[in-house]
Amino acid sequence: MAQADDHHDGVFVVFEGIDGAGTTTQSQRYAAWLRARRRLAHVTREPSGGPMGSLLRLVITQRVSLPATHRDAAMALLFAADRLDHVESEINPHLRDGYVVISDRYDLSSVIYQSMSGADEGPERTAFAAWIRDCNRYARRPDVTVVLDVSPEVAAQRRRNRGGASELFEEAELQAKLARAYLKAEEILPGDRIVHVDGDADVDAVAAAVIEALAPFVKEGP
């Protein structure tokens, strides 16, 4: 399912969901499943491992702070810049080499997280979300995005089990808003191919559902 302007077998797959939805777990599981079927798979994530992505990780773990005024806008711009670098330096080269590139988050995260953490529902938030989409207008579109829908309570329990320092965006009320936004992902990115998978089930059941949902888009190896 390559995009029209490309001549390769690479497929660009994105996993999305709230914190603790299982995007990292399922990205790895799907890559392992592909490799067992002789398909090249490359797992990557956003923020990326590049210079702007590294800066963003310091912001997310609250070791670097951005100015309070327009912080969400500054974050959205950093994410958009990181994304263009990520596409050029890592995603496109692997797609050209025929890999299934699996990104743990992409611009849907930007639009949902940055727009939901600021203004309440209404015209201001809608305009801000549209602006973030516009900031990403040059970012290559995924061939398919898998949204892992989990209840905020399940995700919170998983994060507690996982341990580690708490991150920006993790409080319960915000996570509930993010979960509702993910349910309506196709309204946020009209024109993108989006599939929803119920992420509340156990890891094996979710992995099986992901494989089934992606089967129309990703060929197995030779």
Could you list the residues that contact ligand ATP (CB under 6 A)? Answer: 17, 19-25, 158, 161-162, 202-203, 206
**Integer angstrom CA distances of residue 205 from 68, 95, 208:** 42, 28, 5
Residue positions counted in the chain: 222
Q: Which is nearer to Mg ion, 24 or 151 (CB)?
A: 24
Q: Which is nearer to ligand ATP, 77 or 154 (CB)?
A: 154
Helix (H, G, I), strand (E, B) or coil at 197: strand
24 lies in the binding site for Mg ion (CB under 5 A): yes
Stretch that binds Mg ion, among 21-29, 55-63, 79-87, 130-138 (CB under 5 A): 21-29
Q: Which does 162 bind (CB under 5 to 8 A by kind): Mg ion, ligand ATP, none?
A: ligand ATP
Q: Which does 25 bind (CB under 5 to 8 A by kind): ligand ATP, Mg ion, none?
A: ligand ATP
DSSP string, 157-195: HHHHHH-S---TT-SHHHHHHHHHHHHTHHHHSTTS-EE
Q: What is the C-alpha to C-alpha distance for residues 44 and 115, in angstroms, rounded to an integer?
A: 24
Q: Which is nearer to ligand ATP, 39 or 105 (CB)?
A: 105
Residue 54 backbone zone (phi > 0: left; psi -120 to 50: alpha; other: beta): alpha
Q: Which is nearer to ligand ATP, 9 or 149 (CB)?
A: 149
Task: Kindly list the residues in this chain that would bind Mg ion in the complex (CB under 5 A).
Answer: 24
